[in-house]
Every structure is written in structure tokens, then in C-alpha cells.
Structure 1
Amino acid sequence: MASLSRWALLAALPSALAAAPAYTPEQLARLAKAGEENMRVCKYIGWTWAALVGATLVYRWSLELLCHVRKLANLNHGTSSDGRQKYFSIPDEKFSAMKNHLITAPLLKKRHNREFKLSAATNVGTLPGRLQTLFLVGYLAMSIALTVITIDWHTPDQWYDDGLNRTGYLAVMNMIPLFVLAGRNNPLIFLLGISFDTYNLIHRWIGRIVVFEAVAHTAFWLAKKTFTMPDAKAWAVIASSMAHSEKIMTGTIGTFAFVGLLLSSPSIFRHAFYETFLHVHIVLAIIAIVGTWMHIEEEKSKVFLVAAVSFWIIERIIRIVSIIRRNVGNGGTKAEVEALPGDAVRVTLRIAKPWKFRPGQHIYMYMPSVGLWTSHPFSLAWSSEDDDPHNEKGLPMSRQDIFAAKQTTMSLIIRRRTGFTDTMFKKAELSPAGKFTTTAFVEGPYGNQSFASYGTVMLFAAGVGITHQVPHVRDLVAGYSNGTAATRKIVLVWIIQSPEHLEWIRPWMTSILGMDKRRDILRILLFVTRPRSTKEIHSPSSSVQMFPGKPDVGALLTKEQEKQVGAMAVSVCGTGSLADDVRKGVRERYTSTLASLSFPQVRDLATLLSTSLVNLYDLQPGETVSLFAGNSILYPVAMWAAVRVGARVNGANPAHGVEEMCEALRVAGTRVLFVGLEGLSVALEAVEQVGLGRQRVVVLCEEGEWEGKVQGVRSLGELVELGKTLPEAREWSIPPDLSNKDVCGYLNFSSGTTGKPKAVMLSHHNIIAQCHQLAQQQVVSPGQRYKILAVMPLFHITGLVRFCHYPVFMNGECLMLPKFDFTTMLQTIIKYEIEELILVPPIMIRIVKDSAARPYLPKLREVVKRWSSGSAPISPEIIALLQREFPNAGFRQGYGATESTACISAHPPSHFDYKYATTVGKLMANTTAKVISLTDSGVELGPNETGEICAKGPQIAMGYLDNEVATRETFKNDWFHTGDVGHIDDEGLLHISDRIKEMIKVKGQQVAPAELEDLLLGHEAVEDVAVVGIVDEYAGERPKAVVVLKQGVETGETVGRELLEWVKEKKVRYKWIKEVEFVKEIPKSATGKLLRRVLRDRERSGVGRGLVVRDERVAAKL
């Protein structure tokens, strides 16, 4: 009975629908007004697109004009790389910041091009960039806003119709950009210079918006029926409409087609079944278009659809015409496919009607004998002109005949994957001679790019990505040779799995290496990630070098940026992870991170961190917290967290090897170890060897910054967050019976003649006293806040005092460079107007000698008021150069040691002058010094008499931790015996002339001769050895080994090189030996004590020296 009732109801529906009342005049007027409103909303979308295109066009044309001007301005600078393109090498700060934070930025921290994968073969897509995300979110927000504005949501009878019509209009309107952006011949690619990949991303998201608007359009129609009628009648009307109404039926078909497009388009399906996806996509799109066309009644709405479809048809016609034009005639286009080692093929195309080849071009290739209907994009790697084998005209009689006798070939390298490329490789591999020739069709070319306006060009490639970079190399080398390019430096970095991959481009690279002036401009760095043996890794020349493993992208970028010529371009083509690494490296070098912490923030973070250290690590007062880390704004957080609960802070060099770190941990008695990411692997091995355990290692980084988790190891950021959930640790106070003179707050390492590190105990009183002493000599320009640039490491005594404590004492600012970068340092000095520079001599040398600093010198002269040094000797020649380049700046020299909390003496403001630079200033406040005889320590000498310098004052350390013998030797009756030889002149200026303790200072780092002597004596060829410091213009001093070889070992270059490498393998870089000198015996006293003074005198005079083997490369690396 119920069934009969339904059939009766459906049978009665046509008459019921026919009898439905017509719209009243008021309703018609309202619908007309709504239609006008919908058209206005569609115009908003049109104007938005016009504004975006216009703004991007202005931006793109501005960049093109800049590139053109830059190129023209630098064409006549000569071909020597010494002709620096100074103006264009200085980055614009605001534009750099915009590129760093928006234009080239990934969505989050780093990941952008690296795919998300469910498995090795299942790709689920990538994250869009920050600018792309901003556009997509903005466009989505605009679409939602335009859907809901001006609709009367309080009147149900109205909002059904208004929502229904609005979503329909917007869906059709958005089809215009949807279809325009889908095409390979999208005119916006040429106009705006935006890649097809970006347009494809926008196309996908606009497609999703269209689908959701179409679904919403259907939903409004269903809502109108179901909410205004009884349920039974409503669904009967809906069913009848779908069955009998062409408008509703075609609309429903179109909606289902749109939904099918959405469901079939996720990345996982596109990448797994690309060819199937492409054909299904086209069929569903046609069904959706036809359904929508038949559904629409208003002619003005159809205009949008006509425009969208017209763009699509025109684009298809252009593609067909391009294919016919390029491939028909002259025997058609032929492709020679040759199988290559490493699962690749080289495709050489003899195109029927070729074009002018340009770097950066790609084509779509059809090969019917391999894949009937498929086309795939490939980068063009090479173009050349060969004799036409089909030319039968005999000798050329005219210019036309000469050109006709040549045929242009274009080549591709294609890596074997799945589907089309797999079939092509197998066919070539099974063919005679490993190659076959077939008919092909080429569509294109698309895209092109020129780096000819850049002075420095760095090209990264991984695997088959080299095909994109080789044309740039050839083009730029040729442009350099013939004077049509501004480029003066090209660095090609190619990462391959095996040396056999070199065969892919060997003929082309041979051609490039034979080009005129190639050696003046091009360097090639090859990195082999999976060599079968070390014998495969060999560098053919200094300009073509091969290395095992993966490159340190950041280090390579830094090296080239420091010596860049003019503007610098960086390009990458390879894996997603390589692209992300290069992008990260480039962004880090756009500008500083601008991360900052105020002292109240440091205090709050230190409170939370100390709470975790006490609650989770049971840290007690007097125990040691070690910081083996580079400069970071989190370093003071860890330092003051330990101090807050009464622990001692121990800073040490993060570049230590395992053996050196183990010794440091033992000497300091470390209970908790903070370590930077760069030293984590060494730290984990060291803590296991000393029995500390990895659970007491903390990585010095914020939460979420550390990707590679290690079980049991936490980050500083993680401990800060945990501190919020734990009972706050009480702040430690000095016991009533003690003062801050009696409490050791800091342990800094200092080596003695034994070569073993000694932990110098510094009290809180020492640190505070030194800050007061420094403040009495400080000069800050009126209206300026004290600012200092932390170039030197924080674990050094200078870093501990001058960069961690003194800025707080002065209520000033400390700017830190996490990694030393010469150009960034210069930019930071200028940007923040840092008046006083505390630098080691090698950096001062670079500023006055390195050509990379020249563009910055005019600004530096305006900013720098004072140079400050003291960690190593500085030669009169460098002082003269500083005075010549910076005649209006002052110079301040300081003298001290770790045992004196940095400074015993320094130049006061009255002596900020270059003429006092060879002295080390006057004594700090409340400091007393005396000079004692070198032969009788009980005799105190007078002015201008030379002896050992001794000092006492509030900054003199407490002694050495757990080393009473060394403490008694060095600290006698409150006097610190420095071990340095010098005198005090009549003006009270201290002069240092020699060193008793024999320590070698390399760029401010102490090297104990005994430590290197012990190491060299462990070599099977060494009988005896003495290590002394020799003058080095760059580092101040460098170690030299004077060696006696065992009987039977032949003196010569080979054993010398072997000893140099022996030290390199086992010691940190600044301890490397510069020279090895072979002698018959080491000069010693009657008691057997080494006479190093004799060796130094011999070094100065050059008399009696033996065979010397030098490592000339080390100076550039230090």
C-alpha cells in the first residue's frame, strides 16, 4: 500500500510542478537585484586577479630592469675576478628580509620540496611555500567571504535562493582562472615569470574551491526543497526533478563529475598512476563542462564558461600547432635513445624545425613507439650543430647551403623510473649497440633563464638534475669569454651516487672544459655518496675536484659568499631534500636570524631550566654543568640556570674530539653536559666513555628545532617546557660564613707546560670585579647604548666576561653570530652601528686585506670608533694597515689570561691610539703588578727592566680545580705568576716581549707544546720531538714540530706529510702543525730540559735549520 502511494505521488508530480505558482513581481525584482549583486561579486574576483597580475607584473619588470642594468654596468669590468662589482654585492636589507621571510621561505622551518612518502614508491605531496600559502589562504578566505556577504541569512525563503545563485555564479566565475592556469601555454608564465609548477598548485586549489562551491550550490537546492516541504514530498520532488528536469539532471551530472575530479586528484594517485590520471582528468573535466553548460539558463553566466573553455581550446590549438610546426617536414623529428650506466638514457633529438637553444628550457616529448598517448617534461641538457647525414646537395654554393648542411641536435638525460622511462630504458638496453632510433614529437620549448647579470653563480645538482645546470655553465663560460656576461665566478656542485654517472655528461663536460678562459671562471665540485672504494675518488685538477660523501651546503655557500663577486645567484635542481638544504642555507645568509632575548626573558627561561635541572637531574650546589657549544642566545640561559642553583659553569671548545672532550669532562667533574647539535655525536661517545651517560646530555636548542631525536637526550627547550610543570627550584644563596670571593662559579680551561687541561676556578667576585674594571675604561658615544658583537666564542674567557656578563652589567646589547660568516659580520657591524670591535688579529687582517671587505669599508669607517684586541700578538704591519684604512679610529690592546679573568691591563681612553698598539696598556683598577728577575724570583725589578710579569687584584682566579701543585706554582703569596716576559715603562705601560710558559696562541686559542709532543712521540717514525710556536701573519702563531727520526727512517717529503696528517687526524684544527723540520738532535740542557729558546732563536735567524716540510693549505682553513 505504501509502495502504491509513492507511485501515485510521483505520477502526480508533473501536474503539481506545472501548477506551481509563478514568481510575484516583488520576487522577480528581488531575484533581479540578487543577480546584479552576484555579477558584482564576480567582478570583485576579476578585479582581484587584475590587481594581483598588475602588481606582480610591476615587480617582475622591476627585477628584469635591475638585472639588465646590472649586466650592462658590469660588462666592461674586465675578465679578471679582481674587478669587483662592489655596488651589487651589498644586499638590500629590506628586500633580503622579504625574501628570507616570505618570497623564498618554506611554510614552516625548512621542508618544502622534500616529498612526504608513505613508502619508497608512494608520494603524498609536498608543503607549499610561505608566499604560496599566503595566497591560497587569502584566496580561500576571499571565496568564503564573497559567498556569504549581502545574503539575508535571517529570511529562510530568501537565503536558499541567494545562496543557491551565489555559489553557482562563483563556481562558474572561478573556472576562468582554473582553466587559464592549467595550460602549459598559460600567458601569465611569460608575463609574470612564475613557474608552471606554482600555477599548477594554484590550479589544484582553485579546482577544489570550484568543487566545494558546486557541492554547496547543490546543497542549497536540496536545503530549499527539504526545509520548505514535508520530508516525503520534498524527496519525491527531488527525485522527480533529477529524472525529468534537464537542468537538474545535467547539473547533478556536472556536480558528480566535479567531485570525481576532486577524489582522483590527490598527489598519491597523480604520482602513482600519472598517465591514467591525466586521461581520466580530461574526460571528467569535459563531462563537468558539458553538464554545467546545459545546467546554466542565464546567458550572462554562460559568458564565464565560454571564456574558460575558450582559453582551454586556444591553449590546445597552440600546442597542436607547435607540435606540427616543430616536427613536420625535413624528414620529421628523430630520437636516438642510448642506454647509459647508472639506469639512465641519453636522448639525442634531431628536430625537424629547431629553435634557438637557451639555458633553462624544457620540452614535452612524445614517443609513440614507447608510449602512444603519453608526453613527459624533460630538461634540455645540450644543443649542438652536426653535419646532416641526409644532405645530398654536394658542395655548398651559397650561405643557405652552408646552413642547410648543418642540423641542430638537442639532447636529454633521462633517469629510469617507472612506466614510460622504464620502457624506454629497457628497449635501448636490449637494442644492438645499446641504442635505437625512433620517431618522436617535441612540444615546446617552455621556459628559459639567464644568470648572465650575476657576478657569482653557484649551481647545485643531484643526479639527473645536472641536465638543468650544464646549459647554464656553457652559456656563462661563453659569455665570460666573449664579454657578454657579468659573471666572474661559477661553482658547479654535482652530487652523484657513483662515478659511473659521470658518463652521462662526459662528452659535454669535455667540451666545456676545453672552452676558452674556462679555468679563469669555473670550478666543479663532485660529491660521490656511494663510492665502491676510495680509489674512485680522485681530483683531476684544482678546478675539478672530487670528494666522498654529501656536501656541507652551508659551508660551501659561506665560502663562496665570503669571496663573492658582485650579485650572487644560487640555483638547485635535484632531490627535494637537497633543494630544502640549499634554500635553508641561502636564507640563513640573506640576513641575521634576528632572534633576541632580553635579560628578563633570560632570567625567566633560566628559572624554568634550573627547575628541570634540579628536579630531573638532581643538580646540587657546587656540581659542574659543562657547555660544549658554539655561540647561541641560549648559551646564557644554560649558564645562568646553573648559577641560579649554585652549580659551577664550565665552558669548553665544541670542536674537541672524543679524547679531548673525555679529558675535559673528567677534569671539570661534569654532572650535566649541554652540547650544540654540531658536537652531539662526539658528546654521546665521550659521556659513555667517562660513565656520565647520555641521559645527562642536553642539546642546546629550542623545542622542535632538533629533528634527529636520540633516546634519553632532551633539548633545552624541552626542559624549559617541563619546568613549567614542576615545583620551582629555590634560588641558591651564598652561605652566611662565605662571601662571593669564596664560591667558585665558573671553570674555564687553561693548559700548562704539561699539556693537560687545568680548570681555572673563577669566583663570582672575579667576574663582577672585572666588569667594574672594564666599565671604568669604557667609552660610549652620547645617546648610544652599549653594543658589542660576539665574534669570539663564549667558552673563551673573553666571551664569558665581555659577551655574557659585561653587556648585562652595562644594560647593553650583545649581538651573536651563531656561525662565523665574514660578510654577515661586516653587515651586522654596519647595521647595528657597533662602535668597538673585539676581534682576534686574523679577522682584523681580513678586514684590511680581504677584497670581500672592500665594498663595506666606507660604511665601516663611519661606524667603527675603536679596535680592541689582546688574545694574540699583532704585528706592526697590521697596525699600520689598520691606521691607513681607519685613520680616525682608536686602537685598544689588552693583556691577561684565563687566570686573571681576562684583563690585567688595557689601554685607557687617553691611550686609544695606534702609537700605543705595541704595548698592552695600563693596569686595570685595583690591580698591582711587579716584574721579577728571570734568574732570581726574589728580586723585583724596576721600570724598563725585563723579567717575569706578576699581578694581583680582585680579578685574579682562586686557583686550579683539584690541582694543588699547579696552584702553588702559579699563585704565590696572592701573586699570579703569568709566565710572560716583559717590562713596565716610565709611563706605566706594560710591554710583553716573550713567554716563559711556552704556550702557543693560535687565533687566541692556547696550544700546549707538550700535548703535541706526546702525540708525535706516539708515531712509529719519531725518536724525539720539540714543538714551538712560529709567527703566522693570519693566526698570530702556529705550531711547528722539530723532529728527530728513528734510525733507518728516511728523511723527506713523504714522512713529513705523514706526520702532518697524523696530527690532523687526532687534534682539533687550530692545533694542526704548520711545519715539520727534521734535525739530528733536539737542543737540551745538561739536566735534559728542552731548550725551546734555542729553537726559537734558530727560527728567527734561519741558521742551522734542517729540511722543512710545510702544510701551505692550513692557513686558508683556520
Structure 2
Amino acid sequence: MIYRSPLPDVEIPGGTLTELVLGTAARHGGKPALVDGVTGETLTYAELAEGASAGAGGLAALGVGPGDVVGLLSHNQPRYALAVHAALGAGAAVTPMNPVLTAGEIGKQLRASRAKVLVTAEAVADKAADVAREHGIEHVYVLGEHDRARPFAELLAAGHPAPRPDLDPATAVAVLPFSSGTTGAAKGVRLTHRNLVANLVQTRAGWRVGPDDVQAAVLPFFHIYGFTIILHSGLLGGATVLTLPRFEPGAYLAALAEHHVTRAYFAPPMVLALANAPDVERYDLSALRYAFCGAAPLDVEVTERAERRLGCRIRQGYGMTEASPGTHQVYDDAFATTPAGSVGRLSPNTEARLVHPGTDTDVAPGEDGELLVRGPQVMLGYLDNPGATASTITGGWLHTGDIARVDDHGVFWIVDRLKELIKYKGYQVAPAELEAVLLSHPGVLDAAVIGVPHAEGGEAPKAFVVPRPGVEAGDVLAWVAERVAPYKKVRALEFVDSIPKSPTGKILRRVLKERG
């Protein structure tokens, strides 16, 4: 059975990502495109378009063009967008990197992507320069000033004309993110201009971002969620994108209030933090109309607590790096009628199936199954890994590795990661379900669940819990046991100071498994 979006298909433009999102920059002119929430630095639409064109000319003069890759190592800041579109304008692809990566991890990505140029933020310029030298990358530019890298502004000021690269948007890679590797080694994901252009116009059908909007961008641009859903949906709509380098509840709420943010984007740990943060109510958040959460399942009770404090509904979406990323969304006009805890309906031009894991056989209506998706946003494939590509995309269908269900109204619910399901005496136990129960305990600040070897059951749930002072492990175990079926009980519990997570909030279960 193939599920489809209730929205009609949209026409996918034929140009590049830069042509789509900056093609109307002249219309917006002096309107702020990006504002740094810490420093106040502002780039207008005109400055962004002109700077990207000049930067493309500067990169082209270095010999950068189609088939090349530019590494981008930075936190969220206005000049991030400038670097992206300078590289794309030259015909190159961008491989974005988390600035907290170790030198070894950065080097591994630069080597795998065969990056020719590295652009870095000031704060990590020393690390970037060391890695570039080790890997033979001659050209290192800094978004600002640093004595070990040339200012990116030099490329803009050089006066070289913008090139006109001959690209096929359907096959030319625009962005080369590396998947988070929550269940294994990270892989380079080849996203073409067409993939990203398609996803932007698809999601725009349901999320009507416009010039009156201000989008809060604290989720990192080096992750595809921040890159597409926040940064580029904002630029496409003519909104102002407010960049923030990191999430801290007080500073974040102050920024929302000061800049009259209308759309906020969360990962689950942010929602949990806002549900528990002191003094939320003293901030004027009256401009906030929509709040979205993605990257990992979000507990309904935590959602409702955060909603009451923010005065705004929070709804989830769904996607993955390999889908640019969006496949499911709660449309703006369906916020009030779509159940919390679901991920909404399919975006236009997107199809889905639910199959028995490891097969191509559809499950019966109403049953849980592995989610498969198909659409123009699905990646070209993994970098230099045809085997992984062939096992992930079969017959045009992308295997998400997530277990989902769909109701009679076409609303989808993510049950859990297929690879993270715990099998206890033959029963399948979803870690996300147990985590939701743990988070409902008043003495639990955060929690994660993994499967560990068990003498009787083969595998059993173990919980890692960040407790409030005075909480006893026995009380937490009893709390869970009273609220789940016997085979779902947590059999072991360990108190920890924090739960390891990716930058977008996914629990790094493999890290916990290494600890046992």
C-alpha cells in the first residue's frame, strides 16, 4: 500500500539552490536576511546576494569549480550563508562540519570528501589550520580575522567576476553532509541541487514562511535540519533568520523576545529544557506562532508542559539526512487539529510505505512497519559507498530504518528506530516508549534506554538517568514497572551526569552501549 500526501504535487524548479533562494534577493533589498543574535551582525538580502556572487568569483579564481568540495567548519552565524552560496556559485559542493569535532574527525571528513578549500570560524581557526596543513589543503579562509588563515572577505574584495558553471541540478552535488552515525560509522550523503530545491518547495507548501517571519536558528546549519528547514526555508520565504551559536534557555528565550521570533525550531532536549527552565513566563513570546521539533521522537507529556510555558503549540516533523531532510510535516493550518506526538502527514510529491522489517512486504493497515519513502528529495546516494546505497535505496524506495504507523487520517507516528528495538524473550521493546515513561517521573531530568545482554531474556532494557537530587534508583524502577507491561520493565539503571547526544538531539546509543 502506497501512502501519499493530501496536498497536491508541486512543480520543482529546474535551477540550483542558490538560484532558488537568492533569486528574489533584489526584491527584498535592504531587509535583514540574517542577524547574529549575539553580536548583532546583520546581512541584508542585497549584501548576501552580492557577497555570494563576489565570493564565487574569488573561489573560481583559485581554481574551484564543478566537482570540487569546500569544507565549512563553523557555528551558526550570518557569514555561514555567505560561504555556502559563494561555494555553490562557483559550482562546488559544501561539506559542513561540526566545529567541536576533533582534529582527527575533521581530517577524516576532509579526506573522504576530498575538500579543496577549508572555510572556518574564528574560534576554531587554529584547529582548522593544523588539519589543513596535515592534509595538504592549501587554501584556508576564516569568517572574520585570524593570523593563521586568510580572511574570507578577501575573496569578496578581489573583484573577480562570478562564474557561470555548467551544472545539471539533478546530478550536481550541492551539499555533502555526513550522517550522524548514531548506529554506526558516518557516511557522506550526496544531496544534489535538485534534492534540496525539491525539499524546499515541498515543505513550503505546508509551512508558509514569509517576509514577516523571524526564524530562530540555534539548531546547527552543519546538520541538514538546520541547513534546509531553518536557514534555507527562511531565505526562500524572505524571512529574517536569527542565528545563535548554542542553546542556553535564558539567552534563547531573551533572543526570542527581543527579536519577536515567529517560528522556533527545536530538538527534543531543547523542549525538555524549556519545560523545566525557571522564569519562562517573564519573557514576552507573544510573537511566536509556530514551534517545530524534529531529529528524534518527542514525548507528549514533555511537549504539553513546554507548550503551556511558551504559549505556543509544538508539533513534530520527520525526515532524515538522506531525504534532504523533510518527508513529513504538520502543515501550518493543521497545527490545532494534528495530534501531539505524531509527525504529521506526507509532504507533497512524497510517497511512503510500511513494510515488515527486512522485507519488501507491506504490513496490514494499522500495523507498525519500517517506513520507506520515495520522492525527489531522496539523495543521489552515499559517497564512495555503492553497497550502502544499494541496501538503503531499493526500487527507488529509501529505507529509513524507523518503525512507524499511520492512522486513518493519514497521520504518521514514529515508534522507534528499527536497529534500536530491544528484543526481550522475543518481544520487541521500544526504547523511546520507556524513555517517555522515565521522563514523566518528577525526579528524572533526562533519560536514555538501550538493550544489554540478559541471561533469561537474551536482551533487556537498561536505563541511563540524569536524576534530581535525592532520587533513589529503586523508586525510578518501580515507577516504570507500574506503567508498562512486564516484558518492558527496565532491568538495570545507572545514574549519569548527562546523556550523550548528537548536535541535533539524537541519543547516541552506541556511546551508551560502549559503556554497557
TM-score with structure 1 setting the length: 0.36
1:760 aligns with 2:189: yes
Q: Which residue of 2 aligns with 1:971?
A: 393
CA drift at 1:999: 10
Cα distance 1:1035–1:835, how it changes in 2: closer, same or farther (>3 A)?
farther
CA drift at 1:941: 2.3
Tell whether the 8 Å contact from 2:447 to 2:465 is kept in structure 1 after alignment: no
Q: Which residue of 2 aligns with 1:720?
A: 156
Aligned equivalents of 2:186 and 2:404: distance in 1? 25
Q: Secondary structure at the match of 1:868?
A: strand
Q: Which residue of 1 aligns with 2:213?
A: 786
CA drift at 1:683: 2.2
1:1102 aligns with 2:490: yes
2:290 to 866, 883, 890: 866
Tell whether the 8 Å contact from 2:65 to 2:165 is kept in structure 1 after alignment: no
Q: Which residue of 1 aligns with 2:98?
A: 653
2:356 to 929, 933, 946: 933
CA drift at 1:978: 0.4
CA drift at 1:593: 2.7
Tell whether the 8 Å contact from 2:293 to 2:315 is kept in structure 1 after alignment: yes
Cα distance 1:1037–1:961, how it changes in 2: closer, same or farther (>3 A)?
farther
Q: Which amino acid aligns with 1:905?
A: H
CA drift at 1:988: 0.4
Cα distance 1:819–1:930, how it changes in 2: closer, same or farther (>3 A)?
closer
Q: Which residue of 2 aligns with 1:744?
A: 173
Q: Which residue of 2 aligns with 1:960?
A: 382
Q: Secondary structure at the match of 1:873?
A: coil
Q: Which residue of 2 aligns with 1:631?
A: 76
Q: Secondary structure at the match of 2:176?
A: strand
Tell whether the 8 Å contact from 1:874 to 1:1036 is kept in structure 2 after alignment: no
Q: Which residue of 1 aligns with 2:165?
A: 732
Tell whether the 8 Å contact from 1:846 to 1:853 is kept in structure 2 after alignment: no
2:309 to 868, 882, 885: 885
Q: Which amino acid aligns with 1:813?
A: T
Cα distance 1:683–1:886, how it changes in 2: closer, same or farther (>3 A)?
closer
Q: Secondary structure at the match of 1:748?
A: coil
Cα distance 1:709–1:670, how it changes in 2: closer, same or farther (>3 A)?
same
Q: Which amino acid aligns with 1:884?
A: R
Q: Which amino acid aligns with 1:692?
A: G
Q: Which residue of 2 aligns with 1:916?
A: 339
Aligned equivalents of 1:1036 and 1:882: distance in 2? 15
Q: Secondary structure at the match of 2:119?
A: strand
Aligned equivalents of 1:787 and 1:602: distance in 2? 17
1:709 aligns with 2:147: yes
CA drift at 1:1038: 4.6
Cα distance 1:1115–1:745, how it changes in 2: closer, same or farther (>3 A)?
closer
Tell whether the 8 Å contact from 2:373 to 2:399 is kept in structure 1 after alignment: yes
Aligned equivalents of 1:972 and 1:1037: distance in 2? 35
CA RMSD in angstroms, aligned pairs only: 3.3
Deviations 1:150-177 (A, max 9, x none): xxxxxxxxxxxxxxxxxxxxxxxxxxxx
CA drift at 1:1099: 10
Aligned equivalents of 1:918 and 1:624: distance in 2? 39
CA drift at 1:870: 1.4
**What does 1:834-845 align with in structure 2 at a 5 Å threshold?**
834-845=261-272
Q: Secondary structure at the match of 1:918?
A: coil
1:673 to 106, 118, 142: 118
CA drift at 1:682: 2.6
1:1112 aligns with 2:497: yes
Aligned equivalents of 1:947 and 1:602: distance in 2? 44
Aligned equivalents of 1:624 and 1:924: distance in 2? 30
Q: Which amino acid aligns with 1:758?
A: K
Q: Secondary structure at the match of 1:682?
A: helix
Cα distance 1:637–1:1035, how it changes in 2: closer, same or farther (>3 A)?
farther
Deviations 1:568-589 (A, max 9, x none): xxxxxxxxxxxxxxxxxxxxx9
Q: Which residue of 2 aligns with 1:381?
A: none
Tell whether the 8 Å contact from 2:70 to 2:117 is kept in structure 1 after alignment: yes
Q: Which residue of 2 aligns with 1:833?
A: 260
Quick one: higher RCO (CA 8 Å, sep 6+), 1 or 2? 2
CA drift at 1:792: 0.6
Q: Which residue of 2 aligns with 1:83?
A: none
CA drift at 1:795: 0.6
CA drift at 1:1036: 7.2
CA drift at 1:606: 1.9
Q: Secondary structure at the match of 1:728?
A: coil
CA drift at 1:752: 5.1
Deviations 1:845-867 (A, max 9, x none): 232321142321xx22x222222
Tell whether the 8 Å contact from 1:667 to 1:758 is kept in structure 2 after alignment: no
Aligned equivalents of 1:720 and 1:1099: distance in 2? 62
1:894 aligns with 2:317: yes
Q: Secondary structure at the match of 2:256?
A: helix
Q: Secondary structure at the match of 2:76?
A: coil
More helix per residue: 1 or 2? 1
Cα distance 1:1110–1:660, how it changes in 2: closer, same or farther (>3 A)?
farther
Q: Which residue of 2 aligns with 1:696?
A: 139
Structure 2: runs of 5 or more not aligned: 1-35, 423-430, 455-463, 467-484, 506-516
1:597 to 27, 30, 43: 43
Q: Which residue of 2 aligns with 1:944?
A: 366
Aligned equivalents of 2:154 and 2:246: distance in 1? 23
Q: Which amino acid aligns with 2:238?
A: N
Q: How many residues align?
A: 427
Deviations 1:791-835 (A, max 9, x none): 111111111112332122112211112344433322222233222
Tell whether the 8 Å contact from 2:95 to 2:113 is kept in structure 1 after alignment: yes
Tell whether the 8 Å contact from 1:944 to 1:985 is kept in structure 2 after alignment: yes
Aligned equivalents of 1:992 and 1:904: distance in 2? 12
Deviations 1:200-219 (A, max 9, x none): xxxxxxxxxxxxxxxxxxxx
Q: Which amino acid aligns with 1:1111?
A: V
Aligned equivalents of 1:664 and 1:1115: distance in 2? 21
Aligned equivalents of 2:60 and 2:188: distance in 1? 24
Aligned equivalents of 1:806 and 1:837: distance in 2? 13
Aligned equivalents of 1:1043 and 1:808: distance in 2? 49
Q: Which residue of 2 aligns with 1:251?
A: none
Q: Which amino acid aligns with 1:1102?
A: V
Aligned equivalents of 1:930 and 1:764: distance in 2? 26
Tell whether the 8 Å contact from 1:981 to 1:993 is kept in structure 2 after alignment: yes
Cα distance 1:595–1:948, how it changes in 2: closer, same or farther (>3 A)?
same
Aligned equivalents of 2:421 and 2:55: distance in 1? 38
Tell whether the 8 Å contact from 1:788 to 1:814 is kept in structure 2 after alignment: yes
Q: Secondary structure at the match of 1:622?
A: coil
TM-score with structure 2 setting the length: 0.75
Deviations 1:949-996 (A, max 9, x none): 001011111111111001001011111010111111111011111212
Q: Which residue of 2 aligns with 1:524?
A: none
Deviations 1:501-558 (A, max 9, x none): xxxxxxxxxxxxxxxxxxxxxxxxxxxxxxxxxxxxxxxxxxxxxxxxxxxxxxxxxx
* Runs of 4+ with >4 A deviation: 751-754, 1032-1044, 1097-1100, 1113-1118
Q: Which residue of 2 aligns with 1:98?
A: none
Deviations 1:468-522 (A, max 9, x none): xxxxxxxxxxxxxxxxxxxxxxxxxxxxxxxxxxxxxxxxxxxxxxxxxxxxxxx
Structure 1: runs of 5 or more not aligned: 1-588, 1001-1027, 1045-1072, 1076-1096
Q: Secondary structure at the match of 2:88?
A: helix
CA drift at 1:688: 3.5
1:811 aligns with 2:238: yes
Q: Which residue of 1 aligns with 2:461?
A: none
**What does 1:372-521 align with in structure 2 at a 5 Å threshold?**
none
Q: Which amino acid aligns with 1:716?
A: F
Q: Which residue of 1 aligns with 2:206?
A: 777
Deviations 1:866-902 (A, max 9, x none): 2211112211221221343356x33321011001112
Q: Secondary structure at the match of 1:609?
A: helix
Larger gyration radius, structure 1 or structure 2? 1
Aligned equivalents of 1:1039 and 1:683: distance in 2? 36
